[in-house]
Amino acid sequence: GDLYLKAGTIDKAGDCFQQAYAISPDNISTGTFLLSFLVKHGTLEQGKKIADALETLDNDMFSAIALASFYHREGNADAMWQWLRKAADEGAMDIDLLNCDAMNEAIEADPRYSEWFG
């Protein structure tokens, strides 16, 4: 999927991520890659199904960041911050959180941002 993304063939990348997830839906990596793709290129409805499934697994910092990004796009700041905290608990450093898609100017205005990074 990543190679297709780098080549600019978004549809093929999406198909690839979907196929990998269909083969192994209980694999944290396939769900994380698919959700990250859907946050940028899919719909909230598509992402919600994957986010719901991903939440039931034993999440690592990468899946937690993907979930935070999804909830940011959905407009659910509380859930986004919950998953950012999970990412930090799992070993994400400040730079990992700052570089994730969920961090932007609107989030930096949230009081929780200054509590963490102030």
Q: What is the pLDDT of residues 39-79, one digit of tens each?
A: 999 999 999 999 999 999 999 999 998 999 899 889 998 99
Q: Is the dihedral of CA 87, 30, 12, 71 positive or negative?
A: negative
For the cut 70, the answer to whether the pLDDT of residue 90 exceeds it is yes
Cβ contacts of 1 within 8 Å, gap of 6 or more: 13, 14, 16, 17, 20, 33, 37
Task: Summarize the confidence of residues 2-23 as an average pLDDT.
Answer: 96
**pLDDT at residue 112 in the model:** 83
**pLDDT at residue 111 in the model:** 86
